[in-house]
Amino acid sequence: MKNSARAGLPAALLVVGIVAGPSVLPATAAPAPATTHAAVSLPATAHAPALLPATAHAPALLPAATVSEPAPDAPRAALEAAIAGLPTDDATAALVRVGGREGVWRGSSGVHDLRSDRPADPDARFRAGSVTKVFTAAVALQLAAEGKLDLDRGARSYLPDLIPASYAGVTVRQLLNHTHGIPAPDFPGTTVEEAYANRFRIHDPEDMVRSATSKEREFAPGESQHYLNIGYTITGLLIERVTGDSYERQVARRVLKPLGLSGTWFPGTNPRIVGTHNHGYQRMRLDDGTTGLRDVSVWGATDAWAAGDIVSTTADLERFTQELFAGRVVGGPLLEEMFTLPEVADFRTGKPAAYSVGLSMKVLGGREVWGKTGGRWGYNAAVAATRDGSRTLVYSVNATDAKGQDMNKVAESLMVAAFGRP
């Protein structure tokens, strides 16, 4: 077991704070009026006047932002409409940043928590879920550039004591682009209620790998693509093996500190979001048998680790995205690994593969948009950009249906507003 080395390990400057424990609120809790702060071509501290909540039939009236020079190409009206009226049944808060040469926009809406109805903090920290994979992939590619990892080499050659011979054919690249064929490990329960009951359980990454690799492979390595966390759990262990250092410290030294991402950190075994954060709520069956919203802000993330446990801010993720796409995090030909889709079909749908090393691609508004979404209970997040970085989007949506089968409606509206429809 290696959890003691990861317990509460901060990967950047950590601000110590106290957060309230979980609480339960009924599904019919009346939404408070939302406040949206927007800025165009101004620092994130510039705010627009408060907005009226949207009605069920029409969007709220949106006053002009208090700015001197608006960015005419930014899809401002659509972005404002996407987050107007929060909290709703789908989300209790949203934080948004659009950047790039085509225009800049900042927005926040909703509440800090449903009990106080205070406006959402636009600078709050949040669980970014699988956006973590972009950081993990960036560090792995840096190590490849240094000759410490070989993308075409078998992962077992680095971890012979952990990966069995039955998976000897899986390469490092296949771990990173989800073409490895290793199934998911076993976790207790299959419902959100069961997951909540086990929210403080500590999951060791090596145990998760043993659980996954004890099963038969889903497909031969390189023959298909199945998006799962396990490839990035193994990659985190690879990073530790070849550097002799913890995964968290390597990400901090190579990415967070050079870019000044002081609001980004790894929680380790700490189930709390340290510092200012807007509460996350998840719809589930409550103790009295009814269905409602439960405060899930306090929830361990050791089941995700290098695949999805990072905590960040929209400002940090925007900076990271812009620097990454500009080639200042991963340079040279290795950066193209992040923008190259494997020529295989998706294991479940049969559609062309949509995931590269660290990122995924979708055509929106007639152009390729690359990025990564992430979900933890009560929180959805995303980073996305055109390949040339002319437009970037970062959001955190406190989704009440996080980790659901369908994309959260507020999150989907933000993607469409920023880039256009598929």
- pLDDT given at position 74: 56
DSSP secondary structure, 152-221, as one string: TSBGGGT-TTTS-GGGTT-BHHHHHTT-S-PPPPP-S-SSHHHHHHTTT----HHHHHHHHHTSPPSS-T
Instruction: State the distance between the two ends of the chain, measured CA to CA, in whole angstroms.
Output: 45
Q: What is the pLDDT along the chain (422 residues), one digit of tens a residue?
A: 454 345 444 443 322 222 233 333 333 333 333 343 333 322 232 222 222 222 222 222 222 222 223 444 558 999 999 999 999 999 999 999 999 999 999 999 999 999 999 999 999 999 999 999 999 999 999 999 999 999 999 999 999 999 999 999 999 999 999 999 999 999 998 999 999 999 999 999 999 999 999 999 999 999 999 999 999 999 999 999 999 999 999 999 999 999 999 999 999 999 999 999 999 999 999 999 999 999 999 999 999 999 999 999 999 999 999 999 999 999 989 999 999 999 999 999 999 999 999 999 999 999 999 999 999 999 999 999 999 999 999 999 999 999 988 999 999 999 999 999 99
Reference 155, options 177, 174, 138; nearest CA is: 174
* Separation between Cα atoms, residue 3 and residue 152, nearest integer Å: 30
At 282, which amino acid appears? Q
* Separation between Cα atoms, residue 138 and residue 329, nearest integer Å: 7
pTM of the entire predicted model: 0.86
- pLDDT given at position 75: 87
* Separation between Cα atoms, residue 149 and residue 142, nearest integer Å: 9
| Domains observed in the chain | 24-128+264-419 (3.40.710.10), 133-259 (3.40.710.10)
Reference 232, options 333, 56, 359; nearest CA is: 359
Q: Pinpoint the alpha helices (H) of 70-131.
A: 76-83
DSSP H/E element including 141: helix 132-145
